[in-house]
Amino acid sequence: MSDATEFLLPDVGEGIAEAELVEWLVGVGDTVAADQAIVVVETDKSQVELPAPVAGTVMQLGAAVGDVVEVGALLTRIATGSMGSSGSAAQPVRRRALASPSVRKRALRLGVDLADVVGTGPRGRVLAADLDTVEGAPTPEPAPEPVVTPASGKDDKVVELHGVRRQVARSMTEALRIPHITEFREVDATALLAAREALRPRLERDGLRLTMLPLLVRVCAWALARHPSMNARFDAENERLTQCGSVGLGIATATDDGLIVPVLHDADRRSLRDTVSELDRLVEAARARTARPADLAAGSCTLSNFGSLGTWLGTPVIRPPEVAIIGFGRVTEKVVAVDGVPVVRPVLPVVAATDHRVNDGAHLAALVGDLAAVVEQPLLLLDEN
């Protein structure tokens, strides 16, 4: 006889309704310890290892790899008492090494068992550098390419969407239901670039690297704090707009798994030094898939840095329930008129879009006007009114 504990999918993030099952770390008949990682799930926000709630023997797996499981649905059933008088007891499962998804992918390519690698990170986490120290790691032979004669003269490949890419597809489908209005503008970035050069040595003394992104974050935070209807979330079902008391600025981050948007909370209340440090942490965590749920909680607006991709500019898409998104392109030198005289100046492309259900063209023009003003006159960042 035995007692059984049902392990249901918990809410692994703020407001998560479902998650995709990525990997089972145990099988039926395996014995597990309490708090031992037994399954990996992935949401649109992060990849999470879930621990066993109790010690016991795995009786049932409630879902297969690739399944999308709703919060509250059965993941596994674990027997916590005696399973009877069988001749041999199930052997404990060897604990899985702690590592980020990118490190796991690299280890798989190298043919390295992470359980055999001594991790030097926190709690023994295996880092990318730890794989470099593995001696004699075998490189798997490439599989021979199959010879196929296509019937139609084309080699078609069907790719199933999983994990982040699946969630991005769903989110963008929902986003395109928003009636966007968009404004583009080119702004003289001479003063902003001069400010970066003046501030850079001071931050470098503290080991911080000042790129354009932290300055653009400060620009957005300053402008959004002055436009409550842009720094907001819209509940379309109840036709209710929530104007946020602080700026939670999402940072659109390209990763190997898809677009992830960590949120810099209280962006309008942070110092430049704190902004630089926290941005570094958030972007690194997003790319390594180690971001905390709080890092991915809902923001109030999103910043898309097209310039970091070498792009002049792009058309940003609002992420519901937010009502605005701001983008910046690559700075280029252009001939502009200054007091009637043609001169060459660095020009920063700016774009902003808003939800036309809650904002009009005049609101958008006012926001872009403030963005342009603070780019051209960074001293406005000292204005707290």
Please answer whether residues 5 and 78 qualify as being in contact, where contact means their C-beta atoms are separated by less than 8 angstroms: yes
The number of helices, as runs of H, and strands, as runs of E, in the chain is: 7, 19
- CA separation for the pair 281, 285 (Å, rounded): 6
Spatial CB neighbours of 246, under 8 Å, sequence gap ≥ 6:
265, 266, 267, 268, 269, 300
User: Packing angle between helix 361-376 and helix 190-204, nearest 10 degrees?
Assistant: 60
Cβ(181)–Cβ(354) under 8 Å? yes
Q: Catalytic residue numbers?
A: 356, 360
Do the beta carbons of residue 40 and residue 23 sit within 8 Å? yes
| Residue 351, SS3 per DSSP | strand
Contact residues for 189 (Cβ-Cβ < 8 A; gap 6+): 331, 345, 346, 347, 348, 375, 376
- Round to whole Å and give the CA distance between 52 and 55: 7
